[in-house]
Copies of this chain bind each other. A is one copy, B any other.
Amino acid sequence: MNSNTTYLADVLKSMAQATRLKIIEFLRDGERCVCEIFPAIDEEQSNTSRHLAYMQTHGILSRRKDGVKIYYAVKHPEVFEIVDRATAIVRREVEQRSEMINLAGRG
């Protein structure tokens, strides 16, 4: 459980960053090359490349070469399930906090 905790953390880290989340979202529709990804998420090519490499190294993206282009795809359906569940948490938190504000407003 201990050495696995590190791998587990690495997998989660591969999703726990704004730019990487944008990449994951864009890859919902399937495999895309770097040249499609970086303009879509509005990030520099080099920065996008680094994040893609990071995610692939940590096992959440697959990488396929076709000529000059490199195609990346989300490798495990669990990645989307994780993002969806995190989104549910965020929604509930936002809801809850706005309720608190309403209660405070009413005095």
Q: List chain A positions with a Cβ less than 8 A from chain B.
A: 1, 4-9, 11-13, 15-18, 20-22, 25, 59-60, 76, 78-79, 81-83, 85-90, 92-94
A60 / chain B contacts, CB cutoff of 8 Å: 89
Are A86 and B90 neighbours in the complex by a CB distance under 8 Å? no
Are A13 and B16 neighbours in the complex by a CB distance under 8 Å? yes
Are A59 and B93 neighbours in the complex by a CB distance under 8 Å? yes
Give which listed residue, B17, B82, B94, contacts A86 with CB less than 8 A.
B82
Q: Which residue of B lies closest to A96 (CB)?
A: B59
CA distance A4 to B83 in the complex (A): 12
CA distance A83 to B83 in the complex (A): 12
CA distance A21 to B59 in the complex (A): 19
Q: Which residue of B lies closest to A20 (CB)?
A: B9
Are A12 and B9 neighbours in the complex by a CB distance under 8 Å? no
